[in-house]
Structure 1
Amino acid sequence: MTPIEHLQQRAKGLHLYGLLAHWHELAENAWVEPLLTWEETERARRSLERRLGSAHIGRFKPVADFDWNWPAHCDRTAISELLTLEFLNTAANAILVGGSGPGKSTIAQNIAHQAVLHGHTVLFITAGQLLGDLAALDSDSALRRRLRYYAAPALLVIDEVGYLSYSNRHADLLFELINRRHEQKSTLVTTNKSFAEWSEVFPNAACVVALIDRLVHNAEIIHIKGDSYRLKEARERAEQRAKKRKATGRSSI
């Protein structure tokens, strides 16, 4: 392919039909290549902006600033592998298990952000928001549309499974969603409960075993143990304020 033909392919990819209609008149002009580059760059920027907005990842601490020494147990290698996004290529799942505060959501947000940067569609949502939204729909057609919406992203992150308990209907809706995504799209779940305790999250729900079976099939399960990082930061801020007040008190004497 000649340089001119390559430029023409780029113009076709951008659907610049006006330019293509006059291609033989304009192709050798020096401004054509910069024009295509500007258009590609701007479209990529706007696409990234849209995908970041629709992903709803929220504010988070970059993984580069994550204190890997704080959790008592954390498989950094396994998390680094998730950050490569290789699991998306096989529609595998990932499950981060641990108590409140050691960094599960932060890690999940970083993985979601990396996925958006690499061109994947992503949705980050808490289990409460997801199941509340689905359960509130009172027509079959609206529910089917909403299930398609949640089934569509290449990566769906369901945060905070286990902090609330849910009805049988909630469990059935989550099973339906996970079943639709099974072996088709990747789902990342953060939970503070072991799978043996999920019967407490969905009391009396008949589908819990099947739900867990779909989730853990071809999944990376990572346990993170440790005290709350938020409490650690709160204590550090309190200590800094106390030192500052003490120093201010001394200087005023």
Structure 2
Amino acid sequence: MMLEQRIQHACEELGWSRVPEVLYQHAEQASKENISYLEFLDNLLQEELRAKYERIILTRTRFARLPFQKTLEEFDFTFQPSVDERRMRDLATMHFLGHQENVIFLGPPGVGKTHLAVALGLEAIRQRYSVYFTTANELVESLEEAHEKGTIRRKLRQYTKPALLIVDEIGYRKMNNAAAHLFFQLVAERYEKGAMILTSNKSYSEWGDIFGDNVLATAILDRILHHSTTVNIRGESYRIQEKKKAGFLRLDEDGKPMTL
């Protein structure tokens, strides 16, 4: 009993949670299969390392605030042939993240931009990078509130600290002058220091309308696109396709959706 208590105490001091759970299972296996002392120790250490990795992934996934969890394996590349699967697999190596480069997904609503952004975010977490997800609207509202409270520097640090910042839905709402300048400030802070994934339903030529200022939009794009990869997605909306399959949608004479 004294030995069991010593082992339990040692594991607690070392911060090991998995070894106490599997110790006797591995000890019994070692005895039955005549496993060497070193192999027995290695098995226990590998169990603890796997548990530690799982805890890290769980913590970073929670911190990332992803809207859902979808992987590249779940993306239907046959439905969206404009998305190069090989290119996406290359992005999933996180080479772009290590070089503080940006990835921008452009395309109409429902074509899978957010799915791909989240999938890369999950892969980054799996490779032990810190990730944070936000919509453009949530981002600027947060920055505006911090600016009013005089805590803008602290808030900017929150958005510049993660290795990967995902900003979804740029262009769904136009920004006022103050919000546009705060967004520029964030982009400038992360420029060549941290990677970003951005999604937008607007082409770059329309970003002047988003920010209400062509000069400011040019300055933002200049920093975003300097080291970047742009993925243009041209295809049908997954949501519309699912409605059509379910018989909840039909097209009118002009080919426009008609909800039944």
Provide TM-score, normalisation by structure 1.
Answer: 0.78
Q: Secondary structure at the match of 1:160?
A: strand
SS at match of 1:131: helix
Give how far 1:83 is off: 1.4
What's 2:125 paired with? 116
Task: Give the aligned partner of residue 14 of structure 2.
Answer: 16
1:233 counterpart residue number:
242
What one-letter code is carried by the residue in structure 2 that aligns with 1:16? L
Match of 2:195 among 172, 186, 191: 186
Which residue identity does 2:14 align to in structure 1?
L
Matched residues in 1 for 2:191 and 2:185: separation? 10
Aligned length in residues: 217
Partner of 1:246: none
1:100 to 104, 109, 132: 109
Give the aligned partner of residue 21 of structure 2: none
Pairing partner for 1:78 from 70, 87, 90: 87
Aligned-residue offset at 1:96: 0.8
Aligned 8 A contact 2:165 2:196 in 1: yes
1:139 pairs with 2:137? no
Task: Give the partner amino acid of 1:92.
Answer: E
The structure 2 residue matched to 1:126, chosen from 119, 125, 135, is 135
Shift of 1:60: 4.0
Contact 1:98–1:225 under 8 Å retained in 2: yes
Q: Percent identity?
A: 31
Stretches of structure 2 lacking an aligned partner (at least 5 in a row): 1-9, 16-36, 249-260
Segments ≥4 residues shifted beyond 3 Å: 28-39
Instruction: Check the 8 A contact 2:168/2:198 in 1, yes or no.
Output: yes
Aligned-pair Cα RMSD in Å: 2.5
Q: Which of the numbers 149, 161, 172 marks the counterpart of 1:163?
A: 172
CA deviation after TM superposition for structure 1 residue 101, in Å: 1.0
Tell me the distance in 2 between the aligned counterparts of 1:83 and 1:195: 24
Give the residue type in structure 2 aligned to 1:144. R
Indicate the larger mover: 40-49 or 57-66.
Answer: 57-66
